[in-house]
């Protein structure tokens, strides 16, 4: 009987400890949310990655879309398959 009560007390203390750790973690998250970023260099680097480096992906996908639109327009006009892959032979 004593062992069961000790186990129950241990579980209650561990639960209270975990709940306190969770509360501290939540408070730290909220405090970090409302304080200004201290690492401006890291913020600028991430902004550069998001903006400038994604421009390459946008350009490549735009080129692919234009090529597919040109091929579909060219095949819809009834041209042969040979000229579809050689645009200079139009």
Q: Structural domain boundaries of the chain?
A: 1-35, 39-90
Return the exposure string of 24-51: e unless at least 16 CB atoms fall within 10 Å of the residue's CB, then b.
eeeeeeeeeeeeeeeeeeeeeeeeeeee
pLDDT in tens, 14-46: 999 999 999 999 999 888 888 876 667 877 888
Give residue 65's pLDDT.
81
Give residue 58's pLDDT.
84
């Amino acid at each position: 009987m004593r062992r069961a009560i000790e186990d129950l007390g241990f579980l209650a203390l561990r639960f209270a400890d975990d709940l306190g750790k969770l509360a501290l973690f939540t408070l730290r998250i909220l405090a970090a949310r409302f304080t200004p970023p201290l690492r401006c260099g890291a913020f600028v680097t991430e902004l550069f990655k998001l903006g400038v480096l994604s421009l390459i992906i946008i350009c490549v996908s735009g080129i692919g879309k234009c090529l597919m639109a040109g091929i579909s327009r060219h095949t819809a006009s009834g041209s042969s398959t040979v000229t579809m892959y050689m645009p200079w032979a139009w």
